[in-house]
Amino acid sequence: MTAGNPIRVLAVDDHAVFRDGIAAILAPEPDMVLVGEATNGVEAVDAFQNLRPDVTLMDLQMPVRSGMQAIAEIRAQAPAARIVVLTTYDGDVQAVRALKAGACGYLLKSSLRKELLETIRIVHAGGRYVPAALAQQIAIHSAEEPLSVREVAILQHVAAGKPNKVIAWELSLSEETVKAHLRSVYSKLDVNDRTQAVTVALRRGIIAL
């Protein structure tokens, strides 16, 4: 890629300071140019349609529409779209979700400038990139049985501080069914109680607060 035909980058993040940081990192690079910015998932889809960037840098936690939803929508419209997730969350489950949604790369916002630039070039060239430490976590957990949709829903309620009785009422379940689901959750996550289950689930990106 030459300066006359640079990699066209779209930056999507709801924090202006972070978008400014991306712009500052890309500015000195002769083979890259920032062609647009967006502050949420809805704007991201519109900007992609209007600008058709070569690489989109996408945050996940945003208002109006999440980055995960935006990735899926963009890829549905443009299967060849090259999207790199830039997030503060290093959970293996969330990373897998993003990659399945269509992301080609997954990078933490704490990554060094050099790693970001290399990832943009790798993804633009048709490759995929996940940090080694995160890839190892994905591999470690890949053989484990995932939590069911119902188990995740119950765990999300637990994280909100709700007792089993309230969870049962809100999900139209018996209290014994809730307890059974929680025992399954403990087994799958290899934990002993509610607090540990929530802590592990948050760290791995299974649930979010």
What is the tens place of the pLDDT at every residue in 17-36? 999 999 999 999 999 999 99
Is the residue at 2 inside a domain?
no
How far apart CA 92 and CA 35 sit, in angstroms, is: 31
Q: Do 104 and 76 sit in the same domain of this protein?
A: yes
Task: Check which CATH number belongs to the domain holding 180 and give it.
Answer: 1.10.10.10
Contact 122, 115 (CB under 8 A): no
Q: Do 122 and 22 sit in the same domain of this protein?
A: yes
Task: Check which CATH number belongs to the domain holding 43 and give it.
Answer: 3.40.50.2300
What is the tens place of the pLDDT at every residue in 157-175? 999 999 999 999 999 999 9
How far apart CA 18 and CA 80 sit, in angstroms, is: 26
Q: Do 82 and 164 sit in the same domain of this protein?
A: no
Q: Do 186 and 106 sit in the same domain of this protein?
A: no
Is the residue at 209 inside a domain?
no
Number of domains into which the chain is organized: 2
Is the residue at 82 inside a domain?
yes
Mean pLDDT of the chain: 93
Dihedral sign, Cα of residue 15, residue 19, residue 20, residue 24: positive
Q: Domain containing 192: what range?
A: 149-204
How far apart CA 34 and CA 132 sit, in angstroms, is: 27
State the pTM of this model: 0.83
The pair of three-digit structure tokens given for residue 158, joined into one six-digit string: 């637990």
Q: Residue 4: which pLDDT band, with cuts at 50, 70 and 90?
A: low
Q: Do 188 and 89 sit in the same domain of this protein?
A: no
Predicted local distance difference test score (pLDDT) of residue 31: 95
Q: Do 96 and 154 sit in the same domain of this protein?
A: no
Q: Do 102 and 153 sit in the same domain of this protein?
A: no
Q: What is the DSSP string of 45-71?
A: HHHHHHH--SEEEE-SS-SSS-HHHHH
Q: Do 20 and 117 sit in the same domain of this protein?
A: yes
Q: Do 102 and 60 sit in the same domain of this protein?
A: yes
What is the tens place of the pLDDT at every residue in 71-123? 999 999 999 999 999 998 888 889 999 999 999 999 999 888 899 999 999 99
The pair of three-digit structure tokens given for residue 65, joined into one six-digit string: 């529409």
Q: Do 153 and 82 sit in the same domain of this protein?
A: no
Q: Do 116 and 177 sit in the same domain of this protein?
A: no
How far apart CA 77 and CA 102 sit, in angstroms, is: 11
Q: Do 124 and 173 sit in the same domain of this protein?
A: no
